[in-house]
């Protein structure tokens, strides 16, 4: 028992040097200073992290504040059911439907391109390609999403549109089809990369089980791996949808700027995003109804993408918990 | 027995066919990328010369250049990087190393995931209503830079967190065992070790910001600008000036957009020239990022 005081000594010394272990002694000044410094840094870092919440508050607040004055002037019923969108005309009409159909048609065209191709690429890279091929192809495909969208817009208008005009004679220069197709190619990597990650997370034993039952690679991929990775794959689809809805420059350049209530992708039509760009290019006085109309359009866009973002978030959470 | 062989042959054929389909689909993306680059090169290479880089935009296509827009892009990127990097890296450190599991942390995490999915043009609307008109920052370089900084903040945060997560727990424990405080662990160990991963994320985020067009159009960036912002260096004391922060601006992608939407084919050629500059810068940044990632992966073996 006599060794105990001797043992206590180095611990107490350590405490005096400011190395933790509350020993009951009054903490020295240096120790308190370093504690204050540590706390100060932690608060700073927390504020940085919390700034992202401030940005969201800024987004939601601004959208609500500016569109509140819009909806004081235009009834929600007219906004949602009207079929004419001419906020800048002398006798303005405020039916958002033509912009929504424009957004939907370009999005659907993009998805028809991106989802099948992206899925096949993901299956190929995850289940078929040798790893050397995957190491090269994956970053190369990801470059597709690195290209500035304004360049894609140029490509859609100057390359894709003339190309499609050969397939569909009579196709106008500005049309939703070429914008949608190019947008679809742009979002292929969103689908393929995330889906491939989800499929590679499926344990090898599941595949081995299928092979042992005599299945070949493609059957294993489609009947075992794909369903097992489904929530991750669907999350990638949802990300693609949300990207396509919010994409701006490609449609603003190549799909035309006229609101047009149609479901035919061969026609030109403005999307919600293209309308916002078009109005912003002009010089609208702050507080005018035209100025407020872009915020009303923005709210609509924000709600549409928010729904898909939340869905995707829930699915990703689930996908993480499976294995 | 022949039945058995036939089934096997059929299954092998299925695999073979899918292999071909897979390669074809992969090629769609690669071929498009190639077509896009060739298209730009064929249209724009003739315009790419020193005069194009050092001339202001003009009503005459042959005389128009991209001087004001590439200077604008450079200045905007400066503001964006100076804002987004410290903010994003700090936020990443907080969430990965400091944050306790409580509802505030949860809120921040959900919020960041959601911010990453907000369309870029919405950031532009926010900046227009809040920065331009509420905070009275005007349609300036400062507003543009801040807008893009907000836009890429989630990318920087996520990259920082992922880089920190790859550092083994043992490093932290070893530092603590030697008496380091939390900040000392972060400052002397975690930050240097995660630098490669964080840099990769920052470069990719900046390369995205360079190509962003919509939010800057929304806040009212000019499409025709025939002057340069004031120099950051002056002849009178204190020799440094922040006047340029308040200057109106244009950027490369907006200049390209302006030219591509004109019916005159000569201007479309200019657009291709501007696009070529833009895409070379973007691809270069991405190549640097890939290189850093590759070297980090090769060098560090925990």
B22 chain-A contacts, CB cut-off 8 A: 120-121, 123-125, 128-129
Residues 61..100 of B with a Cβ closer than 8 Å to A: which?
A: 86-88, 90-91, 93-95, 98-99
Burial A130-140 (b: 16+ CB within 10 A, else e): eeeebeebbbe
Query: What is the pLDDT at residue B244?
Result: 78
Q: Are B75 and B228 in contact (CB under 8 A)?
A: no
Query: What is the pLDDT at residue A15?
Result: 43
For B220: left if phi > 0, alpha if psi spans -120 to 50, otherwise beta; the answer is: left
Q: What percent of chain B is predicted at pLDDT more than 70?
A: 95
Distance between CA atoms of A188 and A173, rounded to whole angstroms? 24
Distance between CA atoms of B271 and B122, rounded to whole angstroms? 26
Residue A296, chain B, CB below 8 Å: the answer is no
**CATH code reported for the domain at A97-322:** 1.10.3720.10
Of A50, A216, A221, the CB nearest to B11: A216
Give the pLDDT band of residue B56 (cuts 50, 70, 90).
confident
Query: What is the pLDDT at residue A51?
Result: 93
Express the helix, strand and coil content of chain B in percent, nearest 5 each: 75, 0, 25
Query: Do B23 and A124 lie within an 8 Å CB cutoff?
Result: yes
**Between residues A216 and B293, the one the model is more confident about:** A216
Burial B153-181 (b: 16+ CB within 10 A, else e): bbbbbbbbbbbbeebeeeebeebeeeebb
Of A48, A217, A301, the CB nearest to B122: A301
Whether pLDDT at A184 is above 90: yes
Burial A170-182 (b: 16+ CB within 10 A, else e): ebeebbbbbbbbb
Q: What is the mean pLDDT of residues A60-87?
A: 88
pLDDT in tens, B177-217: 999 999 999 999 999 989 888 999 999 999 999 999 999 99
Report the mean per-residue pLDDT for chain B: 88
Please give the residue of chain B at the shortest CA–CA distance from A283.
B220
- Residue B63: C-alpha distances to residues A205, A278, B36, B67 (Å): 65, 27, 26, 12
DSSP class of residue B113 equals H
Query: What is the pLDDT at residue A11?
Result: 42
Of B19, B91, B278, the CB nearest to A49: B91
Contacts of B151 (CB under 8 A, 6+ apart): B120, B123, B209, B212, B215
Report the mean per-residue pLDDT for chain A: 86
Whether pLDDT at A321 is above 70: no
**Between residues A205 and B54, the one the model is more confident about:** A205
pLDDT in tens, A93-121: 888 899 999 999 999 999 999 999 999 99
B217 chain-A contacts, CB cut-off 8 A: 277, 280-281
Distance from CA of B237 to the nearest CA of A (A): 33
Residue B22, chain A, CB below 8 Å: the answer is yes
Q: What is the mean pLDDT of residues B257-278?
A: 88
Residue A311, chain B, CB below 8 Å: the answer is no
Q: Are A246 and A273 in contact (CB under 8 A)?
A: yes
Find the helix or strand (DSSP H, E) in which A319 lies: helix A289-322
**Between residues B45 and A118, the one the model is more confident about:** A118
Q: What is the mean pLDDT of residues A272-293?
A: 87
A152 chain-B contacts, CB cut-off 8 A: 36
Query: Do A281 and B36 lie within an 8 Å CB cutoff?
Result: no
Q: Are B149 and B84 in contact (CB under 8 A)?
A: yes
Query: Do A148 and B213 lie within an 8 Å CB cutoff?
Result: yes
A42 chain-B contacts, CB cut-off 8 A: 94, 98, 182
Whether pLDDT at A165 is above 70: yes
Query: Do B214 and A301 lie within an 8 Å CB cutoff?
Result: no
Distance between CA atoms of A32 and B31, rounded to whole angstroms? 63
Query: What is the pLDDT at residue B300?
Result: 67
Whether pLDDT at B283 is above 70: yes
Q: Write the DSSP string, A114-161.
A: HHHHHHHHHHIIIIIS-HHHHHHHHHHHHHHTTS-HHHHHHHIIIIIH
Task: Give the residue carrying structure tokens 């729904």.
Answer: A307
Distance between CA atoms of B110 and A310, rounded to whole angstroms? 9
Residue whose C-alpha is closest to residue A41's, from B195, B98, B159, B154:
B98
Which of B19, B40, B94 is best to mutate for the A interface (most A CBs within 10 A)?
B94
Give the pLDDT band of residue A5 (cuts 50, 70, 90).
very low
Query: What is the pLDDT at residue B237?
Result: 65
Pull the structure tokens for residue A275: 């309308």
A94 φ/ψ angles, rounded to the nearest 5 degrees: -125, 55
pLDDT in tens, B247-256: 888 899 999 9
Distance from CA of A84 to the nearest CA of B (A): 23
Whether pLDDT at B263 is above 90: no
Topology, domain B48-299: MetI-like fold (1.10.3720)
pLDDT in tens, A230-255: 888 998 999 899 999 999 999 999 99
Q: Are B43 and A158 in contact (CB under 8 A)?
A: yes
Distance between CA atoms of B190 and B185, rounded to whole angstroms? 6
pLDDT in tens, B223-235: 777 777 777 666 6
Query: What is the pLDDT at residue A209?
Result: 93
Give the pLDDT band of residue A9 (cuts 50, 70, 90).
very low
Q: Where are the domains of chain A?
A: 97-322
Task: Give the residue carrying structure tokens 């690195």.
Answer: A146
B206 φ/ψ angles, rounded to the nearest 5 degrees: -65, -35
Query: Do B119 and A246 lie within an 8 Å CB cutoff?
Result: yes
Query: What is the pLDDT at residue B172?
Result: 93
Query: What is the pLDDT at residue A161?
Result: 92
Query: Do B95 and A58 lie within an 8 Å CB cutoff?
Result: no
Which of A11, A36, A48 is best to mutate for the B interface (most B CBs within 10 A)?
A48
Query: Do A219 and B129 lie within an 8 Å CB cutoff?
Result: no
Whether pLDDT at B58 is above 90: no
For A214: left if phi > 0, alpha if psi spans -120 to 50, otherwise beta; the answer is: left
ipTM of the complex model: 0.89
Whether pLDDT at A317 is above 90: no
Query: What is the pLDDT at residue A246?
Result: 93
Q: Are A264 and B138 in contact (CB under 8 A)?
A: no
Query: Do A277 and B113 lie within an 8 Å CB cutoff?
Result: no
Q: Are B143 and B119 in contact (CB under 8 A)?
A: no
Query: What is the pLDDT at residue A6?
Result: 40
Residue whose C-alpha is closest to residue A96's, from A294, A288, A287, A309:
A294
């Amino acid at each position: 028992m006599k060794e105990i005081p001797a043992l206590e000594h180095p611990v107490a010394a350590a405490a005096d040097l400011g190395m933790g272990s509350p020993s009951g002694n009054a903490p020295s000044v240096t120790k308190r200073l370093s504690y204050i410094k540590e706390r100060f840094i932690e608060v700073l870092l927390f504020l940085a992290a919390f700034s992202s919440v401030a940005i969201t508050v800024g987004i939601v607040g601004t959208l609500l504040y500016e569109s509140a004055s819009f909806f004081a002037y235009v009834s929600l019923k007219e906004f949602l059911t009207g079929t004419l969108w001419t906020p800048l005309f002398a006798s303005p009409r405020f039916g958002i439907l033509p912009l929504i159909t424009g957004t939907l048609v370009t999005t659907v065209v993009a998805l028809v391109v991106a989802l099948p191709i992206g899925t096949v690429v993901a299956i190929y890279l995850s289940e078929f390609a040798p790893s050397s091929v995957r190491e090269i192809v994956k970053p190369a495909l990801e470059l597709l999403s690195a290209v500035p969208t304004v360049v894609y817009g140029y490509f859609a208008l100057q390359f894709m549109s003339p190309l499609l005009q050969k397939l569909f004679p009579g196709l106008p220069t500005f049309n939703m089809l070429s914008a949608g197709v190019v947008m679809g190619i742009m979002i292929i990597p969103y689908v393929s990369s995330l889906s491939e990650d989800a499929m590679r997370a499926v344990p090898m034993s599941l595949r081995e089980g299928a092979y042992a039952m005599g299945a070949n690679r493609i059957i294993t991929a489609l009947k075992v791996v794909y369903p097992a990775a489904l929530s991750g794959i669907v999350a990638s689809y949802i990300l693609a949808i949300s990207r396509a809805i919010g994409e701006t420059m490609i449609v603003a350049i190549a799909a035309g700027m006229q609101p047009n209530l149609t479901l035919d992708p061969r026609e030109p039509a403005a999307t919600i995003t293209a309308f916002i760009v078009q109005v912003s290019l002009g010089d609208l006085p702050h507080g005018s109804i035209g100025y407020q109309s872009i915020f009303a359009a923005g709210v609509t866009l924000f709600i549409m993408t928010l729904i898909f973002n939340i869905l995707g978030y829930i699915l990703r959470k689930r996908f993480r918990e499976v294995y | 027995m022949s039945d058995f062989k036939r089934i096997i042959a059929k299954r092998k054929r299925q695999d073979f066919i899918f292999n071909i389909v897979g390669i074809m689909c992969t090629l769609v993306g690669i071929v498009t990328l190639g077509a896009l680059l060739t298209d730009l090169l064929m249209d724009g290479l003739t315009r790419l010369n020193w005069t194009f880089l050092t001339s202001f935009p003009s009503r005459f296509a042959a005389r128009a250049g991209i001087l004001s827009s590439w200077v604008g892009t450079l200045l905007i990127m400066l503001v964006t990087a100076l804002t987004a990097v410290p903010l994003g890296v700090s936020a990443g450190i907080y969430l990965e190393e400091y944050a306790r599991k409580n509802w505030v942390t949860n809120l921040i995490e959900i919020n960041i995931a959601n911010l990453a999915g907000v369309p870029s043009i919405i950031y532009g609307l926010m900046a227009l209503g809040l920065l331009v008109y509420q905070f009275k920052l005007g349609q300036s370089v400062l507003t543009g830079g801040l807008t893009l900084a907000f836009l890429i903040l989630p990318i920087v945060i996520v990259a920082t967190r992922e880089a920190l997560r790859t550092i083994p727990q043992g490093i932290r424990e070893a530092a603590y065992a030697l008496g380091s405080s939390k900040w000392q662990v972060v400052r002397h160990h975690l930050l240097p070790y995660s630098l490669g991963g964080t840099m990769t994320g920052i470069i990719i985020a900046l390369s995205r910001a360079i190509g962003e067009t919509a939010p800057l159009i929304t806040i009212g960036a000019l499409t025709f600008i025939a002057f340069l912002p004031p120099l950051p260096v002056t002849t009178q004391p204190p020799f440094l000036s922040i006047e340029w922060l308040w200057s109106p601006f244009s950027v490369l992608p907006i200049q390209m957009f302006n030219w591509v939407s004109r019916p005159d084919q000569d201007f479309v050629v200019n657009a291709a020239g501007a696009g070529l500059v833009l895409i070379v810068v973007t691809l270069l940044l991405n190549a640097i990022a890939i290189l850093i990632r590759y070297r980090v992966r090769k060098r560090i073996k925990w």
